[in-house]
Amino acid sequence: MPRQAIELDEARALVLSRVVPLATERVELAQALGRMLAEPLRAAADLPGFDNSAMDGFALRAGESAPGARLRVVGESRAGAPSRPALGAGEACAISTGAAIPPGADAVVRVEDTRRDGDDVELAVAVPVGASVRYAGEDVKAGEALLEPGVRLGPAELGILAALGSGELTAYRRPRVGVVTTGDELIAVGGRLPPGGVHDSGAIVVPALVGRAGGRSTRSRTLATARSPSSRR
């Protein structure tokens, strides 16, 4: 005799009792979206890696800033092209957002709070030490715990790992799921429906749900029940 139907909780327990952890594999960062992390990750370096400007403006010594103060512009620090000379007394360095703070400077005055006059810049405000400066390690310190095993990797997690230069990681293998739909009335999507037939939407929806959850559908099959209502009692 066929086994009687069981409750959902019992069915779930039967399935889970046979579940074992998946093996792990190394995955390139660009292919890791949606994967489940299998290792703890710590920062290998500070982020940002150097003191840099949060604004376009002029790097200077905060103690020399004041409304009406004039400083001589002696160089420029651009993103990817830092200024090497250290600032001396009465000097400033033009700087762009993300560029390294030159030696000797301890603050940045925003460009909109200045007026350029040839080789000089005139300030409209005073700025405190650290103004518009993003310090090395301000976001992440070297050695800091970043992610724990079991985390699903989204764009934000991949972004922080990329910013720290991590090219690959260890993730659990994606589960492979076979999808079987049953019913005499089921017809493949796009097929012509006979009387009483319905399109097999489950063959599309379930693999899509598997993919969203991080798995892979290996195949999708439809099986007819081939039983009359009276035989299902």
* 66 and 130 in a common domain: yes
| Residues 128 and 152 both lie in one domain | no
Q: Are strands 70-77 and 91-95 parallel, antiparallel or unpaired?
A: parallel
Q: Is residue 129 part of a domain?
A: yes
Task: Kindly give the parts of the chain with pLDDT less than 50.
Answer: 228-233
167 part of a folded domain: yes
The greatest distance separating any two alpha carbons of the chain, rounded to the nearest whole angstrom, comes to: 98
- Give the pLDDT score at 226: 56
Query: What is the domain extent for residue 56?
Result: 52-134
Domain with 129 in it: what CATH number?
A: 2.170.190.11
Give the integer Cα–Cα distance in Å for 60 and 102: 9
Identify whether residues 62 and 128 lie together within a single domain.
yes
Residue 19's pLDDT is what?
A: 87
pTM tops 0.95: no
Residue 113 and residue 77 share a domain: yes
Cα gap 170→172, rounded to integer Å: 7
Same structural domain for residues 29 and 66?
Answer: no
* CB 59, CB 93: distance < 8 Å: yes
Q: State how many domains the chain has.
A: 2
> pLDDT digit string (tens) for 38-76?
999 999 999 999 999 999 999 999 999 999 999 999 999
Q: How many CB atoms lie within 10 A of CB 202?
A: 18
The pLDDT assigned to 84 comes to 84
Whether residues 130 and 68 fall in one domain: yes
Residues 127 and 98 in one domain: yes
> Quick one: pLDDT at residue 190?
87
Does residue 37 share a domain with residue 56? no
Task: Write down which residue in 109, 134, 159 finishes a domain.
Answer: 134
